[in-house]
Structure 1
Amino acid sequence: MTTTNQYNEPAPAAPARDALLEAVSAGVRVHDLGRPLKVGMPQSPNHPAYWHTLPRRHGDMVREDGGSAANDMITMGTHVGTHVDALAHVSHNGLLHGGTDAAEAGRGGRYLDHGVHTIAPMVCRGVLLDVPAALGTPQGCPPGYEVTPADLERAEEAQGTPVREGDVVLVRSGWGRHFDADPTRYTGRESGVPGVGAAGASWIAGRGARAAGADTIAFERLAPGAGHAVLPAHRILLVEHGVYIIEAMDLEGIAAAGVHEFTFVLAPLPLVGATGSPVRPLAVVTR
């Protein structure tokens, strides 16, 4: 039946509700993939540590009506805690992604072309590749273990979640369980840290990923005793293919829930010219 108005003309159709809003209204579950920022958390020794202080506390100044306010000051490197690497973060042979001269790009103290402010907010498909689950190692990958393309494909097949172009690919090694329990072990200077190497990074780039993330301090495999001496996955992803990297993620909760495919949400701080930004990534699924 068609509804008409007083002039016997068809009434305008009601606007269609947004499909995303419909899904959210029906109920969603949000998995927080970011680490809480706190003094003393593990971090790469290459970056300034996180520090938080209260310049003003309640009672330092009290208004006539009895009200009082406190405020904060924080200092930190942009690659501390859960964070995203912009394309300006890594160069190779003096060049950034796309052949940009790294020295010239940084003149003036900021990277206007490849800085983190150029990363558009992400609302896209996310895939968690749970490597320990696929390999049958519930305690996680061993220290210094290199996650291979065969491991990534095994996880894809076991979960039924093939990586597609434009996805954000998250690689769980299980190493994230050390973040709070044993910060020294988490950074892995002596033991090494599991993660993808050059071959795994090329596999991710070859699938057309928009970004790649992991539960480790430097995304990729760190050899025992080597620290951050060589980072081939960073070169392949950031410099050669323009794939953003997200590090120090909390992937334990989402893995325990058995969620491997989701809507991924991430918005870096628009720090003009910066090489990275703290982030709080979210994985959203319908209930």
Structure 2
Amino acid sequence: MTTSISDMRELGRRLSNWGRWGAGDERGTTNLITPERVAAAAALIRTGTIFELGIPLDGDGPQPGGNRINPIRLMAENGQEQVLPGGFKWADDYVFMPLQAGSQYDSLSHVHYDDQLYNGHPGTGVTVKGADKCGIHTQAKGIAGRGVLLDVARTRGVEWLEAGTAITPDELDAVVAAQDVEVGPGDIVLIRTGWRAKFLADHDPAGFMAGEPGLSLSCATWLRERDVAVVGSDNWAVEVMPGENPGALFELHMVLIRDMGMTLAELLDFEELSAACAADGLYDFFYAGPPLQFTRGVGSPINPLAIR
């Protein structure tokens, strides 16, 4: 499906959550993760097995340079030249990295258009000082609740989808049916395209970032109809790249983040989790993925966990 800029704006108006949680709201769809839904999700912890969904924060990541680089870690102290009472030695290190260098959340201040952020907050509030509204710190209580893995690649019977492959709402419905799982209000929905598996096989950052399979713009309606709280993927932008409209960039980002107020999780690793879900046929679990409290930050690195 090819869409135009005007179509994207009309879609955004139709799916908008502006004002739904009050005129001053900065959290968007994570408001759907209520205490009752978190408590219910705890019952999905059946064996206590933990799966880490974050990628390693090191120089072997997929960010080839430019605006974003892989993390650079430096030692401040290693203890080797210390002479202290009792033989005590200590080490410290620090990291230089973009907040979106690896597995990450996009905050609701990450993208905007027509000079407005989510809920009508002024886009001019994002300055060299950071975001005065909708920063990642507004999600500081954490993002935790019922997670659902939609394993598109496994359902198709492929290791990974090819770059430029657009996942449609009909395909999401087919995956839901094949997995015998439901998607509902407050869920954290994770889309496996196999793009992480491709990176692990190829170790080609430039190729990984050159394009990707992902959600089509039409999936915004699918997510809104089900009141999904957060959507994440094993690719770097959730949506298909190159995009469906050659005259625009990141249209799904604009609708999900700016209009619907939906936090996105990117560059996740579902390989171990995918195998476990396929083995026992259970695709829902307790998800725990708090962001770091970077005041006024437009994103945050994360190491989310799936607990089954």
Q: Which residue of 1 aligns with 2:166?
A: 146
1:256 equivalent among 261, 266, 275 = 275
How much does 1:160 deviate? 1.3
1:161 to partner: Cα distance: 1.2
Shift of 1:106: 2.3
Aligned match of 1:122 in 143, 157, 178?
143
Please say if 1:193 is aligned against 2:212: yes
The reply on whether 1:266 has 2:285 as its aligned counterpart is no
Task: Report the equivalent of 2:116.
Answer: 95
CA shift at 1:185, angstroms? 5.4
Q: How far does residue 144 in structure 1 lie from its aligned partner after superposition? A: 1.4
In the other structure, the counterpart of 2:222 is: 203
Partner AA of 1:282 in structure 2: L
| TM-score scaled by length of structure 2 | 0.78
Map 1:1-287 to 2 at 5 A: 27-43=47-63, 45-103=66-124, 105-107=125-127, 109-119=129-139, 120-135=141-156, 137-181=157-201, 182-184=203-205, 187-189=208-210, 192-223=211-242, 230-258=249-277, 259-285=282-308
Name the SS of the counterpart of 1:222 in structure 2.
coil
Which deviates more, 65-74 or 238-247? 65-74
4+ runs of 1 displaced by more than 6 Å? Answer: 18-24
Q: 1:180 to 1:133 in 2, by over 3 A?
A: closer
Deviation of the 1:186 alpha carbon: 5.2
Letter in 2 for 1:284: I
SS in 2 for 1:230: coil
Structure 1 residue runs without a partner (length 5+): 1-17
Higher helix share: 2
CA offset digits 1:181-212 (Å, max 9, x no partner): 323255331xx210002112332233211100
Larger Rg: 1
Residues in 2 aligned to 1:200 and 1:207: alpha-carbon distance in whole angstroms: 11
Q: CA deviation at 1:34?
A: 0.8
180-189 or 72-81: bigger deviation: 180-189
- 1:245 partner letter: L
Which structure 2 residue ranges, 5 or more long, are not aligned?
1-38
Q: Once the 2 structures are TM-superposed, how far is the Cα of residue 19 of structure 1 from its aligned partner?
A: 9.4
Equivalent pairs: percent with the same residue? 28
Q: Report the alpha carbon displacement of residue 244 of structure 1 after superposing the two structures with TM.
A: 0.4
Contact 1:197 1:232 in 2 (8 A): no
Partners of 1:219 and 1:107 in 2: CA distance: 25
RMSD in angstroms over aligned alpha carbons?
2.5
Q: Which digits, 9 at most, give the CA deviation of each residue in 1:62-114, with x for residues without a partner? A: 212212111101011111110111101011122110111111x2257122320
Distance between the aligned counterparts of 2:212 and 2:242, measured in 1? 7
Displacement, 1:23? Answer: 8.4
CA distance in 2 between partners of 1:151 and 1:23 (Å): 25
Give the secondary-structure state (helix, strand or coil) at the position aligned to 1:65.
Answer: helix
TM-score of the two chains, using structure 1 as the length reference: 0.83
| C-alpha displacement of 1:47 | 2.4
Q: Alpha-carbon deviation of 1:247?
A: 0.3
For residues 174 and 56 of structure 1, do their structure 2 counterparts lie closer, same or farther at Cα, with a shift above 3 Å needed?
Answer: same
Secondary structure class of the residue paired with 2:223: helix
Instruction: Give the residue type in structure 2 aligned to 1:208.
Output: D
Shift of 1:220: 1.4
